[in-house]
Amino acid sequence: MSLSYELLGSDGAARRGRITTAHGTIETPAFMPVGTAGTVKAMLPQSVAETGAEIVLGNTFHLMLRPGAERVAALGGLHKFMNWPGPILTDSGGFQVMSLKELRKLDPDGVTFRSPKDGSQHRLTPESSIEIQRLLDADITMSFDECTSWPAEEPEAAFSMRLSMKWAERGRRAFVKRPGYGLFGIVQGSVFPELRAESAKALIDIGFDGYAVGGLAVGEGQELMFGTLDYTVPMLPANRPRYLMGVGRPGDIVGAVKRGIDMFDCVMPTRSGRTAQGFTRRGEINLRNARHRDDPRPIDEHCACPACTHHSRAYLHHLIRADEILGAMLLTWHNLQYYQDVMRGLRGAIESKTLDTWIASFERDQALGDIPPIQ
Amino acid sequence: MSLSYELLGSDGAARRGRITTAHGTIETPAFMPVGTAGTVKAMLPQSVAETGAEIVLGNTFHLMLRPGAERVAALGGLHKFMNWPGPILTDSGGFQVMSLKELRKLDPDGVTFRSPKDGSQHRLTPESSIEIQRLLDADITMSFDECTSWPAEEPEAAFSMRLSMKWAERGRRAFVKRPGYGLFGIVQGSVFPELRAESAKALIDIGFDGYAVGGLAVGEGQELMFGTLDYTVPMLPANRPRYLMGVGRPGDIVGAVKRGIDMFDCVMPTRSGRTAQGFTRRGEINLRNARHRDDPRPIDEHCACPACTHHSRAYLHHLIRADEILGAMLLTWHNLQYYQDVMRGLRGAIESKTLDTWIASFERDQALGDIPPIQ
């Protein structure tokens, strides 16, 4: 038995589900904080769990270079290494390797690249990526693919997608089935409906434990992304989880959930937490802005995170101006809390079949803009 | 009523006491983590309290420049600003201003200096330092003094000390007495017994709520520091707390407690936590060292901090090599926990009048050196 997916309810195309893995369950729709190098940056793992996150993402590319997959395996796997006892999804390394540009060389069999850290040479193939993810002990392993760059002409997107489908098949053969562990395939094809259909069919023929939509959130904009989901998601099997890779802003996630996506990951809440950007019910705010300098109010009086329950905007502003680590810690925590609050809201709305009402309220709040300054 | 000091027990010159302030009590001997700019770096204030710390130190110099004492006061004072409900001691700003060298100009009335942040001009006098500390709402205010530089010839040390004594008297007059709040004088005089005696007498004649020993831990070495304490501490009133400023390594603190000191502050545990240096029962270790790369053991299996209860040396080593914020967070926490464990040990040993035995065991452990690598 690989990992399992249970459909608990739905509202239109949106789904309320539960994924059961070797290291626990994930209520979906779910947002996965990104723990690039074995840490969700600036957060204790216990604090990540406190926000409501049930699964985190680890990066094969970063972990294979440092500390090395064999070392992580010898130390008991990534769960033990980073003290995250819950489920972990690892990406395949493909996305990061492709972004190396002149440091990498693609061939039909895989990718050879130089480490940006020390120049050492490495190679990833469909098989070695799967093996590294096994060494890391990922509950959810991702197929090694070539993430088609944006923008791409149709022939280029087709060539890239077909290479990824060959690699997906090789990865499926290399993947060792274990109870509670699963392998996800990744639909490519850029913004071309025929290519997305061909890719989805190829993956379904191979057979995966879950299906990801890749190659989006790469610069195409929300309208094209939603458009692509509109015709791609219905091609995916209803009895398997669906994962939109690298997405996104809260509004992107809400629109994708409405279109039937179950899982998300994005560096935005954590990265923004280190660059003074806060996500709130009333949109995004920049805590570095002088308007917060004397403001005794929290970011959001309804938020349960430590930044909002214990600290003023003025204090956060001060920490950020003073380059204090605590500023990054508190704002990261707030952003992850907000993302998980959105996911909780979405799950509840699907359960009660009130998703459209919930989304209307979400969009109204977002459009309000930040609370006005105190006069 | 200013703050009060209660002597609960003693063992030789060492004292077990309790300071009661407007924001709570402090069991002594006590170590105060340094919260320079309104944050103990890389720590949530709740986590600082979890280590056992009962009082933190804030820096007048940093806070007056950013965010500004008036701003902190308008936001409810430093306790509320940084969410530290317990006692706070603020230094006078003197030590940092003196270290500005060419950016500052000393006159008999105070010091004029330029901000190293933005070049803006500021001035500190005995009166304005006290006023800033009042705005910050410090439970313990420190006299504004000129910290005598090291090394100093006797005439230079005498001139500097006598200026500080004049300033101490002016500060005492400027200090507004409030229940639970106190003002400490600072004994100067470098390493000259006659000057230390003159300084102690001058301060006692003025009358303070506590007495600090200043001008040590500036490069003179442990032997000269202990020697200076040997003759200086007995000159101080027994019914007032005694504070050794800016000290130190664990061994320095232990030796100073034995000589009758009640309070300490030092950036060492926090700064070291950001530079891979760990303090342990068996001495100092550098987590960046390759010997820790594959070590599944915690820093110290007997330590109750999150770094030791949840993480391996290998993981901490990885975080440090990868410049991850979590590395600084965990190691800072460990170091503060170790410092508080030392203070707890010292308090218990004085209570049971077994301090010499405790110190012998402490020194034996420190001399052992780190646990040997796994073969």
Residues of A marked as catalytic: 91, 265
Cis, peptide link before residue A248, omega less than 30° from 0: yes
Average pLDDT over residues B149-174: 97
Mean pLDDT for A166-170 is 98
**Six token digits for residue A193:** 């409906």
Distance CA B143, CA B168 (A): 6
Which residues of chain B neighbour A322 with C-beta distances below 8 Å? 37, 66
Question: Does the pLDDT at position A45 exceed 80?
Answer: yes
Residue A52, pLDDT score: 98
Q: What is the spatial distance between Cα A223 and Cα B95, in angstroms, rounded to a whole number?
A: 59
Residue B265 is among the residues annotated as catalytic for this protein: yes
Q: What is the mean pLDDT of chain A?
A: 97
CA B23 from centre of chain: 18
Contact between residue A205 and residue A184 where contact means Cβ atoms under 8 Å apart: no
Asked if residue B91 belongs to a known ligand binding site, the reply is yes
**B360 band by pLDDT with thresholds 50, 70 and 90:** very high
Which pLDDT value is given to residue B66? Answer: 96
The residue to which tokens 């056992």 are assigned: B52
pLDDT of residue A374 exceeding 90: no
Q: Is A341 annotated as a binding residue?
A: no
ipTM field:
0.97
B27 burial level (CB within 10 Å; 0-12, 13-18, 19+):
middle
- CB nearest B75 (choices: A75, A76, A296): A296
How much of chain A, in percent, has pLDDT values that exceed 90? 95
Distance of CA B187 to the CA centre of its chain: 15
Per-residue pLDDT band at B103 (split at 50, 70, 90): confident
Return the pLDDT at A101: 84
Nearest residue on chain B to A310, alpha-carbon basis:
B83
Which residues of A have a CB under 8 Å from any CB of B?
37-39, 41-46, 66-67, 71, 74-76, 81-83, 274, 293-294, 296, 306, 310-312, 314-315, 318-319, 321-322, 324-326, 328-330
Instruction: Give CB contacts under 8 A, 24+ apart, made by B286-295.
Output: B287/B313, B287/B316, B287/B317, B287/B320, B287/B327, B287/B331, B288/B317, B288/B320, B288/B321, B289/B317, B290/B317, B291/B373, B292/B316, B292/B317, B293/A67, B293/A71, B293/B317, B293/B318, B294/A71, B294/A74, B294/A75, B294/B374, B295/B373, B295/B374
Q: How far apart are CA B3 and CA A359, in angstroms?
A: 56
Quick check: B315 and A81 CB within 8 A?
Answer: yes
State residue B74's pLDDT score.
Answer: 98
Chain A closest-CA separation from residue B365 CA (Å): 28
CB contact under 8 A, B67 and A314: yes
Residue A102 confidence (pLDDT)? 82
pLDDT tens digits, residue range A204-252? Answer: 999 999 999 999 999 999 999 999 999 999 999 999 999 999 999 999 9
Mutate one of B329, B330, B333 to test the A interface: name it (highest A CB count within 10 A).
Answer: B329
- The tally of CA atoms less than 13 A away on the side-chain side of residue A174 is 21
Is A66's CB within 8 Å of B322's CB? yes
State how far residue B271 is from chain A, nearest Cα, in angstroms: 12
Token pair in block for residue B142: 């420190």
Judged by CB atoms closer than 8 Å, whether chains meet at A66 and B296 is answered as no
DSSP secondary structure code for residue A369 in this structure = -
Which tens digit of pLDDT belongs to each residue from A314-365?
999 999 999 999 999 999 999 999 999 999 999 999 999 999 999 999 999 9
CA B306 to CA B298: how far, in whole Å?
10
Contact B71 A39 (CB under 8 A): no
A94 assigned ligand-binding residue:
yes
At B185 the pLDDT is 98
Q: Omega into A234 within 30° of 0, i.e. cis?
A: no
pLDDT at residue B101, as a whole number: 84
Give the pLDDT confidence score for residue B117 in this predicted structure: 87
Q: Consult the annotation and say whether B95 binds a ligand.
A: yes
| CB–CB contact A71 B329 (8 Å) | no
Residues on chain B touching A328 (C-beta within 8 angstroms): 325
Task: Count residue pairs from A and B with Cβ separation < 8 A.
Answer: 104
- Among A194, A249, A201, A198, residue whose Cα is nearest residue A225: A249
What percent of chain B has a predicted confidence (pLDDT) above 70?
100
Q: For residue B339, give every residue at least 6 positions away whose Cβ sits within 8 Å of its Cβ, in sequence order, or none.
A: B31, B33, B51, B250, B253, B269, B279
Tokens of B185: 């004088």
Range A32-56 average pLDDT: 98
Contact B62, B99 (CB under 8 A): no
Q: Is B215 annotated as a binding residue?
A: yes
Distance from CA of A288 to the nearest CA of B (A): 13
Could B41 and A311 be called an inter-chain contact, meaning their C-beta atoms sit closer than 8 Å? no
Contacts of B325 in chain A (CB under 8 A): 41-42, 274, 325, 328-329
| Residue of A311, A328, A329 with shortest CB distance to B83 | A311
Interface probe for A, chosen from B325, B330, B374 (most Cβ of A below 10 Å), is B325
Q: How many residues does chain B have?
A: 375
Phi, psi for A102 (deg, rounded to 5): -70, -10
Burial B88-97 (b: 16+ CB within 10 A, else e): bbbbbbbbbb
B306: chain A residues, CB-CB within 8 Å:
44, 46
Q: Which chain B residues are Cβ-neighbours of A67 within 8 angstroms?
A: 293, 314, 318, 321
Candidate from A306, A312, A325 with C-beta closest to B325? A325
Q: Looking at the predicted structure, is the pLDDT value of residue B1 above 80?
A: no
Taking contacts as CB-CB distances below 8 angstroms, the residues of chain B near A76 are 296
The residues near A57 (Cβ < 8 Å, ≥ 6 apart) are A32, A33, A34, A35, A88, A89, A90, A91, A265
Residue with structure tokens 């936001």?
B75
> Looking up tokens 């406190």, which residue turns up?
A50
CB contacts, 8 Å: A81 with chain B: 312, 314-315, 318
Query: At A99, is the pLDDT very low, low, confident or very high (cuts 50, 70, 90)?
Result: confident
pLDDT score of B161: 97
Task: Give the pLDDT score at A59.
Answer: 97
Residues in B touching A74 (Cβ below 8 Å): 294
How many angstroms separate the CA of residue B3 from the nearest CA in chain A? 27
pLDDT of A1 reads: 73
Among residues A145, A107, A144, the alpha carbon closest in space to that of A128 is found at A144
How many whole angstroms separate alpha carbon A337 and alpha carbon B124?
Answer: 43
Could you tell me the pLDDT band of residue A291, with boundaries at 50, 70 and 90? Answer: very high
Q: Return the axis-axis angle of helices A250-258 and A355-368, rounded to nearest 10°.
A: 160
Backbone angles phi, psi at B122, to 5 degrees: -140, 165
Across B3-23, average pLDDT: 98
Cis peptide bond N-terminal to A87, omega within 30 = no
CB contact under 8 A, B325 and A321: no
Would you call B212 exposed, middle or buried from its count of C-beta atoms within 10 A (0-12, 13-18, 19+)?
buried
Q: Look at B66 and A318 and tell me if their CB atoms are within 8 Å.
A: yes
Give the torsion sign (CA, A356, A357, A363, A367). Answer: positive
Contact B315 A66 (CB under 8 A): no
Q: Say if residue A282's pLDDT is above 90.
A: yes
Chain B nearest-CA residue for A44: B326
By the 10 Å C-beta count (0-12 exposed, 13-18 middle, 19+ buried), B162 is classed as middle
To 5 degrees, how large is the angle CA B84–CA B85–CA B87? Answer: 90
Q: Are A28 and A4 in contact (CB under 8 A)?
A: no
Residues of A in contact with B328 (CB under 8 A): 325
Contact A321, A309 (CB under 8 A): no
Task: Work out the minimum CA distance from B24 to partner chain A, whole angstroms.
Answer: 19
Inter-chain residue contact B306 with A44, CB threshold 8 Å: yes
The pLDDT value recorded for residue B375 is 75
pLDDT given at position A345 = 98
Task: Name the phi and psi angles at A256, rounded to 5.
Answer: -75, -35
Residue B319 has pLDDT above 80, yes or no: yes
From B78's Cα to the closest Cα of chain A, the distance in A is 10
Question: Which is catalytic among the residues B137, B252, B265, B295?
Answer: B265
Give the residue from A264, A276, A252 showing the smallest Cα distance to A328.
A276
> In Å, how far is A330's CA from the nearest CA of chain B?
8
Which of A74, A82, A324 comes nearest B294 by C-beta? A74
Closest alpha carbon within chain B to A117: B322
pLDDT band at A117 (very low <50, low <70, confident <90, very high): confident
